[in-house]
Structure 1
Amino acid sequence: MKSVRRLTNRDLSRVFSYIKNEPEANLFIQGDLELYGLESPNVTLYAFQDPWDCILLKYYSNFVLYSTNLTFNAKLVASFLEKQEKIEVLSAKESLLERMKPFYPHVKTQGTYLCRCNKTSFNPIEGKTLPIKQLCKDDARDIVTLYQHIEEFAKPYLEHTEEKLVQTANNYEKGGVGFGLYMDDKLICTAYNTATTTTGAMIVG
């Protein structure tokens, strides 16, 4: 497909320039590129047309779409995705996903919300709590098991357990930081950073 080009490390500066005006929407793209670059087996990035109409990041079987053009060529993207062996999730801003929905009429769209925090320090809250443990890659199975029991997130963790175990362990091996609460040797709560970049990070739990 001549209108789609796989990008390389030589394109990184152009990519960062393309996504810089919406850092929150592009945390995953920026974070993966800073961590892995574009010559990793885990991450690939494609640009559609030139000048770029949109870009599409592939991380394992997850895809993240971004465009500065609200009328980007969704049909071209859908045609490209049809050729992929496996698609677990396609993520993007709602305005971009709306243009993709006609090509996936039977796929459920799940919305999520972002809020931005500009504080860099916090005061600890005094009170009784369970012991807080810093998590590591060896806790990957406990983390995946926890998500399998949360209705909102369970499906991919149940359907792709082994892949999620690898991704979770890899996140901690690559410098991810997470904390958890255990009760009776069972992880019941977690908070960790993901999509960490030189300018920010996403905190999820």
Structure 2
Amino acid sequence: MNKKLALFAALPALALGLAACSGAADASAPSASPKPTATAAAGFELNTIGADERIARAGLKVLPAEGTAEHYHAHLDVFFNGKPVTVPADIGVAEGPDGKPTGISPLHTHDTSGIVHVEAATAGQAYTLGQLLTEWGILDGQDATTAGTSRGTLDGWGAYVDGAKYGGPLADLRINAHDEIVLYFGSAPEKVPDSFAFPAGA
């Protein structure tokens, strides 16, 4: 069962979250940017164990349901030495020991489309790339020794936002509605995506 659907089945309170995001992020919608289809290097997979701890390290709370006070989407493309890396589904989804979802961060993914969801219970909070990467596990140091992935640090990484080079600290890059964020390690992709065709209503 899809983890998002399992989360709703396991937590009746999430009915509001389903209504909030229903149809807003259809992964089948066409994209204006190259959609990563395969992991370029081992070590970028999402480890679902300890998600609640990574959410806390990101300075966020595990919510019982997707929030409705703030709701928007951005898109993230990741490249490692010019090759696309899949952004995993279920970043920011906490699970119990039985593998069943127990809650969700206000900053999360539902699928591998690269669409990043902000669905918060309170409005006005800033969300950053560093928080998302911490939830993913790339910045938590958990797998920092994995060969070739530079996990645990942003040394050697760069970013573009809507086609413009980002010059600030990557962890502080703010995620805004409809941003097209490109995170890359080593050389930038030959063609840097500068926009994303979000589904209608997203």
TM-score (norm 2): 0.28
Say which structure, 1 or 2, has more relative contact order (CA 8 Å, 6+ apart).
Answer: 2
TM-score (norm 1): 0.28
Structure showing greater radius of gyration is: 1
Between Structure 1 and Structure 2, which shows a larger proportion of helix residues? 1
